[in-house]
Amino acid sequence: MSAEIENVANSIYNGKVPTMWAAKSFPSLKPLSSYVVDLIQHLNMFSTWMEKGPPPKFWISGFFFTHAFLTAVLQNYARKYKIPIDTVTYEFVCMPKEGSYDQIPEDGVYVYGMFVEGARWDDKRMMLAESEPKVLFSAAPMIWLKPVEMSKKKVSHCYVCPLYRTTERRGVLATTGHSSNFVTNVEMPTDMPPDHWVRRGVAMFLSLSD
């Protein structure tokens, strides 16, 4: 038995994701049992996509390289309307919980599967609100990533919330120019000054650690 295989065996015995796997995997801080559940969900998402075509809403946490997915949505919009992609950006539209969302939007995509730390999403008021007592994380709303031309983007009162892949909140800058952990900034509606949420360290994540 080589040292690498022995490390894999020890990690599995201790319920941890082996380093050899993590080097080729999607980023995850979860223990082995939760990681395997996530892995099965990833495989199911892509196999369903291959068999039935693009879904009406995307589990954004299931992408290995989330930045490529976000860029591809902008590229599709730019090609459709024959405009330069560097003039296109996103509007982030938080969607009501009771919607069906079984139809693909005319432009952009619906995404779900994110979590909020330091605050919670109020479905009744459709904006950020204070966290419930002793609740660290809560589900984020489904978001319509709506491509628009920068000159036509609506300006609204919002908190620019950083979105990370894991709860680690740090990453390594890759050769592509993207962080290995930071994904993008999501504009979340609020009736409070943005500094209020900055002081609370409010952020969003694609994956938790349990």
Residue of 202, 200, 189, 87 whose CA lies nearest to 144: 189
Q: Taking the model in full, what pTM does it have?
A: 0.89
Give the ranges where the chain is alpha helix by DSSP (H): 3-13, 19-22, 32-52, 66-81, 194-199
In-domain check, residue 130:
yes
Chosen domain end from 52, 67, 83 = 52
Are 47 and 97 contained in the same domain? no
Residues 32, 33, 37, 42, Cα dihedral to 10°: 0
Q: Residue 148 is encoded by which pair of tokens?
A: 């628009």
Nearest to 122 by CA among 159, 97, 147: 97
Same domain, 19 and 73: no
Kindly state whether residues 105 and 183 are assigned to the same domain. yes
Decide if 210 is inside a domain: no
CATH number at residue 150: 3.10.490.20
Tokens matching residue 176: 């592509």
The total number of structural domains that make up the chain:
2
In DSSP terms, 162 is beta-bridged to 185
Is the same domain home to 148 and 191? Answer: yes
Considering 52, 73, 92, which residue would you say is the last residue of a domain? 52
Mean pLDDT of 64-77: 93
45 lies in some domain: yes
Residues 6+ apart with CB under 8 A from 150: 87, 88, 89
**Domain of 17, in residue numbers:** 1-52
User: Over 70: is that where the pLDDT of 190 sits?
Assistant: yes
Between strands 88-94 and 143-149, the pairing is: antiparallel
Q: How confident is the model at residue 33 (pLDDT cuts 50, 70, 90)?
A: very high
Both 34 and 80 in one domain: the answer is: no
Lowest mean pLDDT among 32-41, 110-119, 147-156, 165-174: 165-174
pLDDT the model gives residue 118: 94
| Residue 59 and residue 35 share a domain | no
- 110-157 per-position pLDDT tens digit: 999 999 999 999 999 999 999 999 999 999 999 999 999 999 988 888
